[in-house]
Amino acid sequence: MAFSNDVLREALKQVSDRRKKAQREFEKQKSDIYEAHPELSDIDNQMQIKASRAALLMFSGNTFEAEKLQKELNELTVQKARILKSAELPEVPECCCKKCNDTGYCDGKLCECVTDLAASLSYTSLLGDMPLDVSTFDSFDLDYYSEEKNEKGVSPRRQMSAILKICRDFAEKFPEGKNLLFTGSSGLGKTHLSLAIANEVLKKGHSVVYGSAQNLITEVSRETFDRSGSTAKIDSLNSCELLILDDLGTEFSTQLSSSIVYNIINTRLLRGLSTVISTNLDIKQINDTYSERVASRIIGSYTVCPCFGNDIRLIKAKKAKK
């Protein structure tokens, strides 16, 4: 698993915040109980006095008196524990993660709770508030695709069913598979499939960055011209285990955006990292919009999944009206 430093730092910070919050709540609960049970402070005082007296007696060799005091101390300890228990104070602050007690580390390694959190952070940081569980493979409904065959004798349903299988295989075997390119007009479920892949790959604990080409290109160009010298965005695009580039071709195309796209695609290919791209453009249009080198990189190393059929958003809208 490889997460950007920013994401890991944030995940560790959140886990540490959890621990501090649990500690604060524990202290608050304890002080409320002391307020409701004034005898507790009394017991504490007595215990302190008896403990130091017992120590002195032990030191002067009067073990008989010391043991007597120790017995009284034990009784007070039991009494105190009984009151605290009846007031429902847990023995220690209640942690979210029982494995690492919210320290973030387990046997000298990062705890699973941190890597899980980092996985969902890298996902949400570029996705905004899009709900993770809406677009899954199970919620991908093939009934929306017509069974009417085209001139090549293939119906949209058959085509999409084959593509769905490719996507499921890709997610299941991740990170073994290579790269996917979804082509076809809007409203055919390309984004749904990309999200479903992201969902499954994240569940397996891999890092995923998801974003529209427009947003990612804007962020990278901002970083390129930023004087601070930070390369966090570019690094995460080049190093996450799965990059999902949604809606390629809808951004305002310039020489800079073309070179950003080429650099991302090329770097990831060289590093053997998977990328999933969805676009309304066909390969010829990719060639025209970006450059021949972008198109040839894609043709050479992506499994192309041409989606076709009717806009299912329109079909859903019509259905909802009825």
Contact residues for Zn ion, defined by CB under 5 A? 97, 99-100, 111, 113
Closest CB to Zn ion among 111 and 307? 111
Establish whether the linkage from the previous residue to 175 is cis, with ω within 30° of 0. yes
CB-based contacts of 303: which residues, under 8 Å, 6+ apart? 166, 177, 178, 179, 180, 181
- For the CB of residue 107, give the shortest distance to Zn ion in the complex, in Å: 11
- For the CB of residue 116, give the shortest distance to Zn ion in the complex, in Å: 9
Q: Which residues of 38-68 are buried (b: 16+ CB within 10 A; e: fewer)?
A: eebeeeeeebeebeeebeebeeeeeeeebee
Closest CB to Zn ion among 98 and 318? 98
**How many angstroms separate the Cα of 212 from the Cα of each of 164, 195, 245, 246?**
21, 12, 6, 4
- For the CB of residue 52, give the shortest distance to Zn ion in the complex, in Å: 39
- Angle between helices 5-36 and 39-59 in degrees, nearest 10: 100
Closest CB to Zn ion among 111 and 242? 111
Contact 94, 102 (CB under 8 A): no
- For the CB of residue 32, give the shortest distance to Zn ion in the complex, in Å: 28
- For the CB of residue 96, give the shortest distance to Zn ion in the complex, in Å: 8
First CA to last CA distance, the chain: 48
Closest CB to Zn ion among 111 and 244? 111
- For the CB of residue 252, give the shortest distance to Zn ion in the complex, in Å: 44
Distance (Å, whole) CA 92 – CA 80 = 15
Closest CB to Zn ion among 15 and 294? 15
Closest CB to Zn ion among 12 and 265? 12
Residue 217: HSE in the Cβ half-sphere, 13 Å Cα cutoff: 23
Hey, which residues does 245 pair with through a beta bridge? 211, 277
